[in-house]
Amino acid sequence: QVQLVESGGGLVQAGGSLRLSCAASGRTFSSYAMGWFRQAPGKEREFVAVVSATGGSTNYANSVKGRFTISRDNAKNTVYLQMNSLKPDDTAVYYCAARYWTSLPREPHEYDYWGQGTQVTVSS
């Protein structure tokens, strides 16, 4: 069992930055690929970024490539999402998710565990 708790969301002006964190429980964090997803009102949950279990590989949605950076610290059981050059379209609830060992999953159904989400609002 893995429990995930996101933090770091908030209100920011367009062009600003935020860093989201996701703290995981359990001693096997380094065995899980970790992903970030987001869901805006009235829209489906969409993939944002994923980092492999070892941290050696990452993958991003085209809409955030070059602006967002995913990273992890396995010693702290934490995954991060650094978000720069934020746009109003980035407004959503952001969720982190964990999938045992699979390299770089991009689909929500591939993930085993989810956090409760953190709201990010970007004003224009």
Segments of the chain with pLDDT less than 70? none
Q: What DSSP string describes 20-67?
A: EEEEE-SS-GGGEEEEEEEE-TTS--EEEEEE-TTSS-EEE-TTTTTT
- In this prediction, residue 26 carries a pLDDT of 79
- In angstroms, rounded to a whole number, what is the distance separating the alpha carbons of residues 101 and 92? 27
Residue 118 Cα distances to 9, 33, 56, 57, angstroms: 5, 20, 26, 24
What residue has token string 């699979």? 102
- In this prediction, residue 99 carries a pLDDT of 95
